A and B are shown apart, each in its own frame.
Chain A
Amino acid sequence: MELIIQGAISLGLLWSLMTIGVFMTFRILNMPDLSVEGTVILGAATAARLVSNGHNPFMATIMAALVGSIGGFVTGFLHTKLKIPPILSGILTMVASYSIVIRIMGTSNIALPPHGPTRVVSVFTFLQEMGLTRQTSIMVFAAIVVILMGAAYYFFCGTEIGSAVRATGNNRQMVAAQGVNTNAMIIMYLMISNGFVALSGALVAQQQGFASVDMGVGTIVVGLASVIIAEVLFNVRRFWARLLTLVAGSIIYRLIITLVLELGMPATDLRLFLAITVVIALTLPLIREKLVKAFEKLKARGGRSR
């Protein structure tokens, strides 16, 4: 059991980079970006191909993030230059990614066994060689990467360009009037967010020991679910705290999934469960409002009868 929970925490940490990527577009840029479904496998495929060919896993992982950024660039280009609506731009990138992924991998999946005679060296191998168990090395490495990337993103948001990006998500007309090239901001920001998503995919592939074309399906909903869990449970204001809660949301999401699977829910029902959870979470504010109103009505009636 302990091992399962540890595994859930590691996976939550690794996926939290994807969650941050989803948060960037959904919450900061106000532009739902569906290309993440594609860029997550672009990242996984690139890393898997390079690592299985014996390349340096760190270089492979960085390459994976860059390939994801290219996906983000394509989405941004379709939207800003070719004026295709954002959702459709994302879907187009996502669909195209499936073909690209097969081309990158040469097949629909690549195994990256961490043990045995065909064992491949992954980013987690180095900590293992320093004497840590595989579980622990994954957790430690994931934590380091998440802290570094989270801090980098935090500081990016505080720069002049980061501030212009946030304003672009808030009010495009205003930032354009202040001399900001909003198209450039959107493209650059999609490159960053999809870089995060692809990095996440690359690390998860190395953690689970394989990459496959269908590992990205549902990513957007998982990301959204994690973002919403974070916001509903913690509801914090400060930006660094919001980033931290995204990581927590991502871990909690994995723990919930682990729990329902342990309780015997068939894995194939997972996506239905997931979709329903997100619907509930998204309607929570509405439900809360209704409840408050009903409560006030009750109180008013109670007051009169007394």
Chain B
Amino acid sequence: MTMLNVAHVDKTFNTGTPLESHVLRSVNMSLHKGDYATIIGGNGAGKSTLMNIVAGTHLPDSGTITIDGHNVTKLPEFKRAAYLGRVFQDPMVGTAASMNIEENLALAYRRGKRRGFRWYISSKERDLYRERLSDLELGLESRLTDKVGLLSGGQRQALALIMATLQEPRVLLLDEHTAALDPKTAPKVLEIGNKIIKKYNLTTMMVTHNMKDAIRHGNRLIMMKAGQIVLDISGGEKKNLTVEHLIARFNQVSDEDFDDDAALLV
């Protein structure tokens, strides 16, 4: 069953100005339910733009985006959020620093639901939050009323992962969500994400600059270059993928030498 379908999507920024850049060029991509696609590509390849187009932060110039059978191409970001969970690269972006942990979670718990003049949280929810937080094994379950601003970057990203998946998303979008973390914390947050993805069988897109992570995780590997998807590796090939094989595959589809891009990837 197709969960996410991106068809013939084009996006140009600053059309008609000297800064004009054609960032996505007729991109086609389809994720099945439970697919976990890692996305790699050099700086400016259009990975984040693709995520933002799926999320509705930007609208495409042409093409269609379908999530779980719903055509969302023209839907504004806040309406599309009902289908999506997102974690951003910057830990500051995914959480509200001046609000406490349970307030952040309560906001996320209401994603896709009508917000009204009911109290912002119920005591039943607190039990759920404690349970979900204890899965992180970071001790956050006993700190529900601590301001999120007091948490470390890694704790904030872990919390953001919980927030993105508290209401099960049709598609989970992770855009370099561990890139801002220190080398010891990054793999932990990645692992936490993997656990959640597996537990709920979430359809996932994860952008990373770490080729080894891209190879090790997920059942699909998508490589972007200059606004196009140049590689889409899945199935057994993905399972047995090695760095050497990936480079060989890239050289097959590209006339340029991989080294230029490889430098940006590893």
Contacts and interface: CB of A to CB of B under 8 A. Distances in A.
A182 B94 contact: no
Contacts of B81: 176-180
Contacts of B96: 166-167, 170-171, 174-175
A179 B110 contact: yes
Interface string A148-179: 00000000101111111011001101111111
Interface hub of B92, B94, B96 (most chain A Cβ within 10 A): B96
Given A173-B93, A177-B86, A179-B78, A159 B120 contact: yes
Contacts of A176: 77-78, 81
B99 A167 contact: yes
A99 interface: no
Contact of A160 (B79, B84, B118): B118
B133 interface: no
Given A171-B93, A175-B96, A161 B106 contact: no
B74 to A, nearest CB: 15
B43 to A, nearest CB: 21
Interface string B96-124: 11110001101110111101111110000
B207 interface: no
B124 to A, nearest CB: 15
Nearest to A161: B115
B117 A159 contact: yes
A179 B99 contact: no
A158 B112 contact: no
Nearest to B112: A179
B52 to A, nearest CB: 11
A218 to B, nearest CB: 29
B120 A158 contact: yes
B78 A159 contact: no
B181 interface: no
Interface string B181-206: 00000000000000000000000000
A236 B76 CA distance: 39
Interface string A224-247: 000000000000000000000000
A160 B78 contact: no
A180 B78 contact: yes
A203 B181 CA distance: 54
A157 to B, nearest CB: 9
How many chain A residues sit at the interface, stated as a range, is 20 to 34
A164 B93 contact: no
Contact of B78 (A166, A171, A181): A181
Nearest to B121: A163
B223 interface: no
Interface string B12-34: 00000000000000000000000
A173 B95 contact: no
B36 interface: no
Contacts of A167: 96, 99, 103-104, 107
B120 A170 contact: no
Contact of B108 (A159, A170, A173, A178): A178
A164 B88 CA distance: 19
Interface hub of A158, A160, A177 (most chain B Cβ within 10 A): A177
Given A176-B78, A179-B81, A164 B117 contact: no
B107 A164 contact: yes
A160 B99 contact: no
A163 B106 CA distance: 9
B180 interface: no
B93 A161 contact: no
Contacts of A173: 88, 93
Interface in A166-216: 166-167, 170-171, 173-182
B110 A177 contact: no
Nearest to A159: B117
A161 B108 contact: no
Given A176-B77, A177-B81, A180-B115, A160 B97 contact: no
A25 to B, nearest CB: 15
A178 B163 contact: yes
B6 interface: no
Given A161-B117, A162-B120, A178 B97 contact: no
A190 B119 CA distance: 21
A173 B106 CA distance: 16
Nearest to A167: B96
Closest 4 pairs between A and B when the two form their complex, measured CB to CB: A179-B81, A163-B120, A160-B115, A170-B96
Interface of B: 55, 76-79, 81-82, 84, 86, 88, 92-99, 103-104, 106-108, 110-113, 115-120, 163
Given A163-B120, A179-B111, 18 more contacts: A159-B120, A160-B110, A160-B115, A160-B117, A160-B119, A160-B120, A162-B120, A163-B99, A167-B96, A167-B104, A170-B97, A171-B95, A174-B96, A176-B77, A177-B77, A177-B84, A178-B108, A178-B163
23 contacts: A158-B119, A159-B117, A159-B120, A160-B106, A160-B116, A160-B118, A160-B120, A163-B103, A167-B96, A167-B103, A171-B92, A171-B96, A174-B95, A175-B107, A177-B86, A178-B111, A179-B78, A179-B82, A179-B110, A179-B111, A179-B113, A180-B115, A181-B76
Interface of A: 156, 158-164, 166-167, 170-171, 173-182
